Every structure is written in C-alpha cells, then in structure tokens.
Structure 1
Amino acid sequence: MTPQEIETRIVRYGDLHPCKTAFIDAHTPGSDQKENFTIIGGGVSESSDQHVHISIPHGFNIGAAGQPPKCRNSLHDHHTAEAFFVLKGRWRFFWGRWGDAGEVVLEEGDIFNIPTGIFRGFENIGTDYGMIMAILGGDDAGGGVMWAPQVIEDAADHGLVLGEDGKLYDTKRQQKLPEGVAPMPLMSGEELAKRPEPTTADVLPNHVARYWDLMALSDKEPTTVIGEHGVLRDKPGFEVDFITRGSATEAKNAAKFPTVLMPMRGHWKVTWDGGAATLAPGDTMSVPENLAHSVVPSMTGEASLYRIVATGDPAGLTWQG
C-alpha cells in the first residue's frame, strides 16, 4: 500500500471537521458550545451536518468532543460500550438519573470505560479548550443515543425536537416533524427505575485507568487497558492497548481487523512494506487489516499511544465476567 493510499486513512488533528449541531442539547445553555467530531464510522450524531472522516467499518466507532471551559455534555446513554480518553484538558464525568450518583475527574491521558446502562455526562473543568477522544462499540453504534427525559424537555424549550427517526428538527428554523414521524418518547418511569445508580466507589476500580499508572505498566511491554484480560476487564467488541517508548518495537505485526492508532504524547513513525507515515498527538490512523506494520516513537521525549482493534465479539453491554 502506497503512502498516498494510507494518507486517506489518516485524520490529522488540524483537519478535524467540527459539528456544533450534532445533538439535541445544541441550543441548551451550558451545552451550546460543544463541537462533535466523527472520525471513524457513522457515529451517533443526530444532525445531517455531521462530517464523517472515514466511513470504513471497523467494528467500532471513533469520535471526539471538543468543549470550552464550563461547557457540558448532557446526560445520555448508548446501547453499546463507550470509552473515553482525555487528549487535552481536565474533565469531570458524572452519571446517574440526575447526574449525581457518582463522578470522577480525569486528567490528560486517563481513560474511562463507562459502565453501560447508566446515564452519563461530562464537562470541561479546565481553563482552556479541551478534547476527549471516544470509542463506541459496534459499526452502527447500537442505533443512536438515549437521553435522560429532562434533556429532551430542556431541548424542546430551546427549539430542538428529536423525532422517532433519530433526527433533529429545529423549530427556530421553522422545521417541523415530517408527516408520520412522532417526537422521540420520553423513557418511562418503569424503564428509568431499572437503571442502576452506581457510586463513585463502585465505578472507579473497574472502569478508570490513570495515565501515569499505564506509563509504568507499559515500560517493557504494551498493556491491554480494555479487554477480557485487561486492566479494565471487559469484552465490548474491541480491545484497547497502551504503548510507550519502552514497549514499542520495530517488529512488524498485522491484525485480521483494521487497527486504529491514536498518539497521546510524542510523534510516532508507522512503517509498513511500501512506506511510512508520522503521527502526532490528536491524529488518528486506520491501518488496514492484514497489513504488517510497526509503530515506534520518531523523536526523543515522552511518548505514548493508544491502539484499538476489534475483537469480533458482539458489541453489547459491558461484560460481567
């Protein structure tokens, strides 16, 4: 494969296309400054304005959220697993019916494999524009987003209505639900009562991995962060590995599914028979299936990288093993 062909599978941080109308809370005060990015896969955006960088199926989706300080992403859930790592800034994640069951603060490089079946939200509590990178299970991401009822009600007060077809309609722009399309129904009290409300103590040990702990663990060998035998034990349909300067190797390896490389710190050189490419923090590269390649730091200094590969397992709820 030529470098030109590979370049079509690299999304540079500086080339990311933001969407400010991706979700139902796009007009809600406190959430109306969000920028959403769909990097790999169709994602779960509710807006036709969302740009998809790489549409090739991988068995999971890669996206991102960029937010200025004090901007919040509203309480929601997905039908499949969702994991985030912080690329830039300081973020507070919170969860539960009203967002008060528990919370955790993540720093740059930390990763959170959020328990499924609970409403979750997040906000940038840093002092500058922040960015978090997201991994969502499944090629179709399970059919969209489930919003806490109050989010849908608040959005309607500010002109946005979500249809049962999963699309947004902006009444401020004189948009109406099409004939035969009803508004997205609110989740019933019975459905809400079935949702667990795990505390911070319940969630932290099995769902959060800290960057500097991963750096230490990956000093000699790559660390499986999310996986059946990972630091965070789960089978969400994908596996996440963490690689540092000490655990990178020139040996070329291939996977039967596409491999996604996402540098956290430092510049990384990806080499395959026929070419090479260099990645910087915030870049995302999709390596084709069965393409033998190596990835090593190309400069001195701190170097770390997340690698994501599908496992072929069903993209479903968090595994309870």
Structure 2
Amino acid sequence: MNGRTNAPQIVRYGELQPCKTAFIDAHTPGSDQKENFTIIGGGVSESHDQHVHITTPHGFNIGAAGQPPKCRNSLHSHRTAEVFFVLKGRWRFFWGRRGTAGEVVLEEGDIIDIPTGIFRGFENIGTDYGMIMAILGGDDAGGGVIWAPEVIEDAADHGLVLAETGTLYDTKAGQTLPEGVKPMRKLTDIELANYPEMTPMQVVGWGVRRYNDMVALAGTKPCKVIGETGIIRDKPGFEVDLITRASATDTRHCHDRPSVLMPMRGHWRVEWDGGSDVLAPGDTMSVPADLMHSAVPSMTGDASLYHIVATGDAPGASWLG
C-alpha cells in the first residue's frame, strides 16, 4: 500500500483479523463458530477484542461474517440499513419474530438489502467456510444490535451477559457487570409487536438481486444496485453499484467523500494520482475523498466489483418499496 496519507487504504482478504467473541451468541451452540470482521468503521461488535482495520468515517460501515457450514447468526435487528453480498459460499437468510416469516437462499455475488425494523438472521448452508460482506448505514451503525429476547436468554445460559452499555461480559470467565451497570433490557411484548412479519414477496421481491442479472444490466455503464434510482430503490445513506469489465473505464474520476471498492470476481488494477495497486476478491479499498482514480480489470476472465459511496442522506433505510 502506498504510504502517502492521501493514498487509498487496502485491507487484504488474507489479512483480515477475526473476532470470535463479537456478539452475545458467541457461546450459544450453533452460533459459536462465527468470525466477525470489522473492516471500515466501528461496526456493531459488542467485544473489546474486535479489531477495526480502517477507522476513517465514511458515512457507513463495512464488515464481514465468516462461518463454517451449519453455523448461524441469531435473530436480531438494526436501526439503520443492513446490506449483504455473498463473497463465498451459499447462505440462507431468514426473518420474522421467530425467524419463520420467510427465507431466501443467496449464492456468490447475490445481494440483499434487508428492510430496517425486522428481525433477521443468516446461516451458512454450503459445504465449506463461507463469507458474506456487510454494509451498515451510518458511522455509528445505529448504535448497535437489537437482539430477540430468546437470544439474550440463551446467551445467559451459556455465560454471556450484554450490558446496557452494549458491552459483553463472560460470567464463566469470572467477569461481572461494573457497579451501577444493568444488563441489556429485553424488548417487551408491546415493543415486539412493532416488528413486522414481512412476507417473502416483500423482502425478496424488493431487496434481493441475483449476481447474473446485475452483470447483465451492467452493460455500457455500471449497474446501480441500491439507490434512489437503483434496481433496489432505497435511500439507506449510501449507494451501491456493480461494475463489470464491460462497464469499467480507465477515465479517472473522484468523489467528494470516501468511497469503497470491493472486488467480487477477477483482479482489478486501481490507479490514482501518485500510485497504483491490484485488488483481488475479498480485498477492500478505501479511496479518499477528492482523489482522482480509476479501476479496470487487470486480467482476462470474469471481473466485477461492488462500489459503495455515502450519499449524505440520513442513515436509516427508508424502504421505498
């Protein structure tokens, strides 16, 4: 990586630092093999052990979840947008108060924009270790995770208690909540009634797009995946484009705020004023605001990358339908 302060910052896939104690279900059987990665921004990790690779505010957070087969992430919700694309493997996403309102299976490259305000979870249903990349709205990602009450109860049975401050304490390791700090309050039945049970048509029809379809749409220009005019019509505080070989250009451009490049397929050469580098699938590049740059495939074959930039809108997803 170029050492200049105005050069892009790159987090290589092979250099990602996982945290296995990031969330309240870290000891719960079926969820205890998760690895959480915080790539850009503070994310929503509840553990002091979480490593943050890039702390520069972008208007959104970038993270990832790595899980072996049959490992799941428990039911939770967020106050801001949560968008995933599948980097590796085959994943089942499910939602609803009990996780039974609907589900969808995503393959590599597919993307899902999950409506704000519903409980959701996901699991790796593939045969190998899988990885999904996440985009969370806002610099503080909405202040954390809202867990379904039974997740908090199950975690306590296995020694983990979440404080009202959003920090985890492991009672089996001898940790106790600080004096004057209470456990995280569970949602009441009245509060839970405000979390809708969205149908598969509402979630999948609106917020899921398949990789091959997006590639077909990225002809002479990038496919606007998420945005006010995107194929997922939403205003979550950021826009997502899919750029392919056909829609890439070596014409340099810049943005008035930091942007992020995340290759999905192939190798990409990024050039900027003063340097260049090559990105591979799983790498994440943060491009500083106002830096002239370009990105084109550096080898033959399938090539695509996701491009993310904040819009300056409020970070809460609007779910325009």
TM-score w.r.t. the length of structure 2 is 0.98
**Deviations 1:84-118 (Å, cap 9, x if unpaired)?**
00000000000000000000000000000001110
Q: CA deviation at 1:202?
A: 1.7
2:270 equivalent to 1:238:
no
User: What's 1:225 paired with?
Assistant: 225
Which aligned pairs between 1:132-147 and structure 2 lie closer than 5 A? Answer: 132-147=132-147
User: What's 1:172 paired with?
Assistant: 172
User: What's 1:254 paired with?
Assistant: 254
Q: CA deviation at 1:219?
A: 2.2
User: What's 2:310 paired with?
Assistant: 310
Q: CA deviation at 1:7?
A: 6.9
Aligned to 2:103, the other structure's residue is in SS state: strand
**Deviations 1:139-172 (Å, cap 9, x if unpaired)?**
0111000000000000000000000010000001
2:23 equivalent to 1:3:
no
Aligned to 1:317, the other structure's residue is in SS state: coil
Aligned-pair Cα RMSD in Å? 1.1
**Deviations 1:183-224 (Å, cap 9, x if unpaired)?**
101101001011110111221111001000001000221011
| Equivalent residues, number | 320
Q: CA deviation at 1:317?
A: 3.1
Aligned to 1:152, the other structure's residue is in SS state: helix
User: What's 1:206 paired with?
Assistant: 206
User: What's 1:71 paired with?
Assistant: 71
Which amino acid in 1 is paired with 2:282? G
Which amino acid in 1 is paired with 2:218? S
TM-score w.r.t. the length of structure 1 is 0.98
Label 1:8 to 1:48 Cα distance change in 2 as closer, same or farther (>3 A).
farther
User: What's 2:215 paired with?
Assistant: 215
Q: CA deviation at 1:67?
A: 0.1
User: What's 1:16 paired with?
Assistant: 16
Aligned to 1:277, the other structure's residue is in SS state: strand
User: What's 2:107 paired with?
Assistant: 107
Aligned to 1:181, the other structure's residue is in SS state: coil
Query: 1:8 & 1:55 partners in 2: Cα distance?
Result: 13
Query: 1:146 & 1:318 partners in 2: Cα distance?
Result: 18
Which aligned pairs between 1:272-283 and structure 2 lie closer than 5 A? Answer: 272-283=272-283
Which amino acid in 2 is paired with 1:130? G
Aligned to 1:198, the other structure's residue is in SS state: coil
Q: CA deviation at 1:8?
A: 6.8
Q: 8 Å contact 2:234–2:317 — kept in the other structure?
A: no
Aligned to 2:206, the other structure's residue is in SS state: helix
Question: 5+ residue gaps in structure 1?
Answer: none
Q: CA deviation at 1:243?
A: 0.3
Query: 2:148 & 2:44 partners in 1: Cα distance?
Result: 16
Query: 2:142 & 2:116 partners in 1: Cα distance?
Result: 12
User: What's 2:299 paired with?
Assistant: 299
Which amino acid in 1 is paired with 2:33? Q
Q: CA deviation at 1:3?
A: 2.4
Query: 1:204 & 1:44 partners in 2: Cα distance?
Result: 25
Query: 1:226 & 1:76 partners in 2: Cα distance?
Result: 22
Query: 1:205 & 1:101 partners in 2: Cα distance?
Result: 14
Query: 1:202 & 1:55 partners in 2: Cα distance?
Result: 35
Aligned to 2:49, the other structure's residue is in SS state: coil
**Deviations 1:22-70 (Å, cap 9, x if unpaired)?**
0000000000000000000000100000000000000000000000000
Aligned to 2:87, the other structure's residue is in SS state: strand
Question: 5+ residue gaps in structure 2?
Answer: none
2:128 equivalent to 1:122:
no
Which amino acid in 2 is paired with 1:284? T
